[in-house]
Structure 1
Amino acid sequence: MGGETARLQSLADHGDAVIARRRHYGEFFGEAPLPENFGLVVGNCQAESLRLVISSDALPAIRVPAVHELTATDAERLHTLLSEASFLVAQPIRDDYRDLPLGTTQLRASLPPAARLVTVPAVRFAGLHPFQAVLRLPAFPEDPPLVAYHDVRIVAEAAGTPVAAELPPAAVRAIADASVAELRRREALGLDVVASDLFAPVVDDLARTVNHPGNALFLPLGERLVAALGAPGRVVDPGRPILAGVRAPLERWVVDAWSLDAAPRPDWTVAGDTLPAETVREAHLAYYAERPELLAAVVARMAPLLRTWAAAS
């Protein structure tokens, strides 16, 4: 009896989640009317933040689920909307992403001839979190517990080769330069709008995590998108921190390396609550200990960063 009750509750919870998702993306799912001359911003978790800063009465952009969350039915709906759209802002997406027609060229094919397409890079910046990596390992799709990031120091500890707790300023800057160089490489593949020059000077609001930029990046990047779309709109400051649900620690030695006008934050912030860094460390060590094959894959992917940290120890 208890099992059946749990099953029914699970079904009810799933149904509530579906309803909430459709309501949240009301225009996308046809639950709310579409504005005239609407456009879409398609990409990873950064896409919604870009939509926030470019969307206005003059340049209406509707909310779209992140590309990695789209189902086959969602993809079909996306192409239907694109056939009526005035513009599309898209991060580069490979054809048949997740076995769905979500590649940038596939999305472009559904646009009306007069619609504008502007491509923009997905941004990662390691200068404020030079200990951090976000990895997509197809053989191990499960994220680490508590926060979906790998800390090179915790990985090294789990692998039995501990490294230093911090880096000297020159190494911090070198890691930052490497992440910007990789961004420039991807921009040079033919993107319409660039972001790589927006990481100087370094300020604490540039990034919340290695793959979550902050307002100091999104607002000037939004200005470039509005200009590239050739529209009468202007960038919109939402008046709050963007993409700030998860904030990684901002450690004192990083603050010192960049001479930031900011207080160090030794712990994580998740959904507005403090999550102690030590709690994350203990959870991740246990996670790696239970998954030696995953740990080996993480070590292999993080080998360059591990070498940098080993050299500083």
Structure 2
Amino acid sequence: MQNAGGDKGQGPDGRTLHYGEFYGQGGSSVEPDASAGVAVVMGNCQAESLRVMLHGAGLHTVRVPPVHELVAADIPYLERLLERTSLLVSQPVRDDYHELPLGVRQLQARIPDAGRTVRVPVIRFAGLYPTHAIIRPPSDLSLTPPIAAYHDLRTLVEASGGEPIATTVTPAMVRALAADSIGELTRREEAFDTVRISDLFATPDFSLMRTLNHPGNAVFAVLAERVRARAGLVEHAVEFDRPLLDSVHAPRSAAVIETYGLDEKPRADWIIGGVAVSDDVVKRAHLEWYAEHPDAVEAGLARHRRALEILAAT
């Protein structure tokens, strides 16, 4: 975070303006209701989408930076906000995340005694994008491949020099990967006592997920409803006028459409910022990136061993 208060003779920077209320600069698009409780939603990019779905009906939500973007200079602002927070909604975050007091338990300890905490899961579902994965290179956990920040396991294997896998993805593969994905999400929901959302993926379609980890409005609407129910708040449906997390749409395979009987057409291209980008262009860029970051290949092969075994089945 830079220039939260504005340097002498200069106004606040773009980040400070974007998170204006958090930094005490105003900037809320909705005038706060003095009688409304203040809610803070903490987590990755999914947190902001959930926040906008929660706003209103006795709840004033404050936009905060994603947890992985917070730095030491942000902590005083966060602590002041938590002192007036009545509802903390957070993905599972470990204590001292990035060597800062950002763990759920640490944040919960800062809100007033009457406040409530509701945990929500980090949502990932591979059943619509069965060859895609998220990989963190050990050398730098923040690194992502160019163009599309998602790894294709088939490209990963090619980069490793291994035997090619899944020349044709089959419905059996899709179903197996979907079942594993739902199972892992369910396990995390139970382990962290989060609001449940895994049941939505029993009958998946592309409105639910734009990529492996970018849910659509339909998911956030249900998640917000369930957060409100757990927190004991009145029901409140938000009619949001634009798609959430809409900047990247992954290709849609014929095997997925066949598996779920969807009324869709396959699409080989990525849609990034509204522009179609060939999957071949993405693949070439990723292969070059893997050559520069071999540890990402090794980490991916180890982390996604089960998915690779499914995709290698004949």
Common topology (TM > 0.5): yes
Residue 287 of structure 1: how far off its partner (Å): 1.2
Is 1:153 matched with 2:154?
yes
Per residue, is there more helix in 1 or in 2? 1
What's the secondary structure of 1:102's corresponding residue? Answer: coil
Is 1:243 matched with 2:237?
no
Residue 294 of structure 1: how far off its partner (Å): 3.1
Residue 286 of structure 1: how far off its partner (Å): 1.2
1:157 to 1:71, Cα distance in 2 relative to 1, 3 A = same
Paired position in structure 2 for 1:298: 300
Residue 255 of structure 1: how far off its partner (Å): 1.0
Residue 208 of structure 1: how far off its partner (Å): 1.0
1:82-121 equivalence runs, <5 A: 82-121=82-121
Where structure 2 has 5 or more consecutive residues not aligned to the other structure, the ranges are: 1-9
Give TM-score scaled by structure 2 length.
0.89
Could you tell me whether the CA contact under 8 Å between 2:39 and 2:88 is conserved in 1? Answer: yes
Paired position in structure 2 for 1:134: 134
Could you tell me whether the CA contact under 8 Å between 1:22 and 1:29 is conserved in 2? Answer: yes
1:192 to 1:199, Cα distance in 2 relative to 1, 3 A = same
The 2-side partners of 1:18 and 1:253 are apart by 50
Residue 28 of structure 1: how far off its partner (Å): 0.7
Aligned length: 297
Paired position in structure 2 for 1:234: 236
Is 1:22 matched with 2:16?
yes
Is 1:80 matched with 2:71?
no
Q: Deviations over 1:45-90 (max 9, x none)?
A: 1100101111115211111111000011113311221111121111
Could you tell me whether the CA contact under 8 Å between 2:139 and 2:295 is conserved in 1? Answer: no
Is 1:31 matched with 2:25?
yes
1:50-89 equivalence runs, <5 A: 50-89=50-89
Could you tell me whether the CA contact under 8 Å between 1:128 and 1:254 is conserved in 2? Answer: yes
What's the secondary structure of 2:125's corresponding residue? Answer: coil
Could you tell me whether the CA contact under 8 Å between 1:251 and 1:266 is conserved in 2? Answer: yes
Further displaced range: 63-72 or 248-257: 248-257
Paired position in structure 2 for 1:258: 260
What's the secondary structure of 1:309's corresponding residue? Answer: helix
Identity of aligned residues (%): 46
1:154-169 equivalence runs, <5 A: 154-160=155-161, 161-169=163-171
Where structure 1 has 5 or more consecutive residues not aligned to the other structure, the ranges are: 1-15
Paired position in structure 2 for 1:311: 313
1:139 to 1:223, Cα distance in 2 relative to 1, 3 A = same
The 2-side partners of 1:30 and 1:300 are apart by 45
The 1-side partners of 2:138 and 2:40 are apart by 28
Could you tell me whether the CA contact under 8 Å between 2:57 and 2:236 is conserved in 1? Answer: no
Q: Deviations over 1:252-304 (max 9, x none)?
A: 22111111122222111111111111100010111112333432222222222
What's the secondary structure of 1:88's corresponding residue? Answer: strand
Q: Partner letter of residue 270 of structure 1?
A: I
The 2-side partners of 1:190 and 1:146 are apart by 33
The 2-side partners of 1:126 and 1:193 are apart by 20
Could you tell me whether the CA contact under 8 Å between 1:58 and 1:233 is conserved in 2? Answer: no
Q: Partner letter of residue 114 of structure 1?
A: A
Further displaced range: 295-304 or 121-130: 295-304
Could you tell me whether the CA contact under 8 Å between 2:138 and 2:296 is conserved in 1? Answer: no
What's the secondary structure of 2:182's corresponding residue? Answer: helix
Residue 239 of structure 1: how far off its partner (Å): 2.5
Q: Partner letter of residue 47 of structure 1?
A: A
The 1-side partners of 2:12 and 2:308 are apart by 41
Could you tell me whether the CA contact under 8 Å between 1:130 and 1:176 is conserved in 2? Answer: yes
What's the secondary structure of 1:296's corresponding residue? Answer: helix
Give TM-score scaled by structure 1 length.
0.90
Q: CA RMSD in A?
A: 1.9
